[in-house]
């Protein structure tokens, strides 16, 4: 499962409009997409302090969720990580829900606005949601060694300032300060088995120690 999809499911518990889910994460979903592109071997980061986005790999991207943002990045020049995560419209919410619907995790319902708006979306496989949360809780409390995907999800949620809200049960009984320190620790210990994981690890450490992603509006 993509990091983008995990983040969507964590944020979508009380929403039926994918666009409102993406909006609530601020630029968090963009950061998730960039991380997914790194894991897919299509994006890397320069080794200098500028953290320039480097496009690698060749040929078409088979995953529609990633193909669209990759095409947008390919049109940019001299783009830093800070600039990339702030690209308006980088994440297409409907491509994310299309992928989740194909996997049987969500389903489309009626159109909003008297049948003329976009279709609502609801989660039908809540077991997937519960498993994601169980994995994050185990990682936070040291009961499981997390992979790059889970560490990235935690790093992004902390970076956008929503960890106490989105992960309230998973973080308990940690204080806010303890939770921040634990997620930062996990980010600094991200697995680096290959170049893709190294890029993700660099990004995780950057977004948890610097203000690269602006705070999000939250779930209100």
CATH classification (class only), 3-111+118-211: mainly alpha
Looking at residue 70, what is its pLDDT?
94
Q: What is the DSSP letter of 215?
A: P
Q: Which residues contact 219 (CB under 8 A, 6 or more apart)?
A: 11, 14, 15, 24, 162, 165, 166
State how far the Cα of 32 lies from the Cα of 51, in Å rounded to an integer. Answer: 16
The token pair at 146 is 């997390």
* Mean pLDDT, 10 residues at a time, the chain of 220 residues: 95 77 89 94 86 87 94 88 91 94 90 66 92 96 92 94 94 95 90 81 86 72
User: In what helix (H) or strand (E) does residue 68 lie, and over which residues does it extend?
Assistant: helix 64-74
Looking at residue 4, what is its pLDDT?
96
Instruction: Give the C-alpha distances (Å, rounded to integers) separating 173 from 179, 192, 218.
Output: 9, 30, 21
State how far the Cα of 201 lies from the Cα of 189, in Å rounded to an integer. Answer: 8
The token pair at 22 is 């993406």
User: In what helix (H) or strand (E) does residue 120 lie, and over which residues does it extend?
Assistant: strand 119-123
Residue-wise pLDDT for 33-67, tens only, equals 999 999 999 999 888 877 889 998 878 899 999 99
Domain boundaries, the chain: 3-111+118-211
The token pair at 198 is 């190294």
- Beta-bridge mates of residue 44: 54
């Amino acid at each position: 499962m993509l990091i983008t999809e995990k983040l969507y499911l964590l944020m979508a518990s009380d929403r039926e409009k994918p666009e409102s889910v993406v909006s609530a994460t601020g630029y968090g979903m963009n950061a998730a997409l960039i991380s997914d592109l790194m894991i897919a071997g299509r994006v890397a980061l320069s080794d200098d302090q500028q953290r320039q986005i480097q496009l690698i790999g060749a040929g078409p991207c088979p995953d529609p969720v990633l193909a669209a943002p990759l095409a947008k990045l390919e049109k940019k020049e001299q783009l830093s990580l800070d600039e990339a995560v702030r690209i308006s419209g980088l994440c297409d919410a409907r491509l994310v829900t299309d992928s989740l619907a194909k996997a049987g995790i969500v389903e489309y319902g009626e159109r909003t606005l008297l049948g003329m708006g976009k279709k609502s979306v609801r989660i039908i496989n809540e077991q997937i949601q519960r498993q994601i949360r169980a994995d994050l809780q185990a990682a936070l409390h040291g009961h499981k060694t997390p992979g790059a995907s889970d560490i990235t999800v935690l790093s992004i949620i902390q970076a956008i300032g929503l960890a106490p809200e989105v992960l309230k049960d998973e973080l308990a009984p940690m204080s806010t300060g303890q939770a921040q320190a634990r997620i930062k620790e996990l980010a600094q210990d991200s697995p680096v088995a290959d170049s893709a994981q190294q890029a993700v690890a660099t990004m995780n450490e950057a977004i948890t120690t610097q203000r690269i992603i602006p705070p999000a509006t939250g779930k209100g």
